[in-house]
Structure 1
């Protein structure tokens, strides 16, 4: 890692000197975490890189309460990096189904294979090396390196951005890359205070760094809330410029907000009685790599496809009215960046075989997929809203 200036980011003022901030912040955070931090989560009680890495990937864009269930189940099925590397991708996707952001699961699988093939099954010990692995960015690399190997490097996730932007009263716009680079530099400078403290006190840095890293996460999650920070409980309030100015909720500064969009999808469930026809979606886009019913953006597209592929009966011509009569109540599914309005359409197919040999080319939605027994749907790699709906209809 390149050398970083010990000066605070340009333009910041402090109720303490910059030297005091750097000297006091880390030790205060470590002492607080030992007594008041979170210690009950399973990945907080281990320094095993596989466990820490898995938790870090799962916690991206996902609530802790949700991750707890998936984390334990994943470890039971694939207890180490060698088992994950050797597992078929279908098993990995099935274990991940419901967590969302499915590229994480594909990268997780690829990363495990890289660790086994390139590093003999041992995670590298530095953030720089960890970043060469699929799906591991700077913050995840820093978390693994500091938690498991004691490397003096700062993580940089949403909680950390909020804590540090308030401590430093950092007024750069964090919707831009330049401001993020500047704040990350300040984060690394604050770590040097802990390094100097360890040198002067004789305390082991490799023991302090995991507490420091966990302390940053805990502070952001339990004290330094976005809308109602509990400053009276903050261990670094003495070092906080935003609190001194009575302006904690003015930070972090982020002018560009994520624009939310919505889409309506019609989901075609072909039901033969004992099984449902499902496609495996491509790796790109929503529900990438998972199994799902056929998706259409309009009922007339669904009717056109059914008629062209001679589904159910060669003599019957499906109309929008026919399909509308079969439509089930619409489900609203919330993603981070998008709202999906999902309308299931269930079509009974008497024949055990769909007429694939009569499919007409050129319609843009290939008739590929497989019958999945209803008894197997609970363990299939289905998106969360699909699995939930199927549970009410088919399980």
Structure 2
């Protein structure tokens, strides 16, 4: 019997789907690719202004490949998961060098690019080239897990394989571009994580989770582990010229490759900060002001940040290098900065604790 899943979904999409997203305009593989990477772990409403600014600065893959990585990171600042931006920059260079600046329309070749997996490659093929390809992003996983009542967390290989099989079965031979957008839209707009709008869903008649009033059970949750708590001092070191010392983060790990403020081990007491700055950085400072601390949550731990502002009296060792740089505040804000660091530099007049 003919599978009606795609027909029902496409009919709903024609009436209710999103047809005018920015990456639908002047559609090509580059724009689709950038949007797909930005949309990983991030809502459409958040992505739109970033995408538009990114396209204005890097209108094609050549511009992105040849831009300094700091420029790319500065246009990503605030979106989080910064490895996406670094991989985007590296993959642009691959396209420029290995494919003469043209995105391949082959799934295997697309997956050879840094940061592009199976579902992202399929989305590019379907959205940019209009060819049949099977996607399975987070929204699609949720729709299919509920429709077929697939138990378990999709991060498990056995569960993921079942969802890929269902995704392949339902993907039609025609209207691939519309279908891939439709099923992503359904997950984002109707089959939402909490409080799904099942009465408005075009697939509710065949949905096993809905039939059994069990939508809350699908997809299964990732086994929870308590996130560890960490802490750090963040230093705002400002010299007599009004310049602030920035330090580039290592290329991998948290905030990888971004410029940030220097950190000190949380074991130091506030009365030891001046001595620590002189010993570890070669910078003599006057008494610190402690700015209100706050907690920032990463995917796998909580970080308690205690900022301290220390006016620099004498700098004997720290000159500009690839890792350290003295910059005025407006210059610093033009770089790729982690969101909490940007907030510290744009809202300096916080209540001091000392």
Q: Return the TM-score normalized by structure 2.
A: 0.90
1:178 aligns with 2:158: yes
Aligned to 2:279: 308
Aligned to 1:154: 134
Instruction: Provide the alpha-carbon RMSD of the alignment.
Output: 2.3
- Are the structure 2 counterparts of residues 257 and 39 from structure 1 closer, same or farther at C-alpha, using a change threshold of 3 Å? farther
Aligned to 1:29: 9
**Which among 316, 322, 333 is matched to residue 355 of structure 1?**
316
Offset from partner CA, 1:81-102 (integer Å, 9 cap, x none): 0111111112111111221111
Aligned partners of 1:265 and 1:298 also within 8 Å: yes
Structure 1 segments unaligned to the other structure (5+ residues): 1-18, 196-204, 359-365
Aligned to 1:294: 262
**Which among 194, 211, 224 is matched to residue 178 of structure 2?**
211
- Structure 1 position 66, deviation (Å): 2.1
**Which among 220, 243, 248 is matched to residue 275 of structure 1?**
243
Distance 2:43 2:231 in 1: 26
Equivalent position SS for 1:393: coil
Aligned partners of 1:267 and 1:342 also within 8 Å: yes
Offset from partner CA, 1:178-225 (integer Å, 9 cap, x none): 21112112211111xx22xxxxxxxxx2xx111110111110011011
Structure 2 segments unaligned to the other structure (5+ residues): 350-354
Matched length: 344
Q: In the TM superposition, what are the counterparts of 1:69-218 in structure 2 within 5 Å?
A: 69-191=49-171, 194-195=172-173, 205=174, 208-218=175-185
Distance 2:204 2:80 in 1: 36
Larger Rg: 1
Aligned to 1:346: 309
Equivalent position SS for 2:11: helix
Q: Return the TM-score normalized by structure 1.
A: 0.81
1:243 aligns with 2:215: no
Distance 2:255 2:153 in 1: 32
Aligned to 1:261: 228
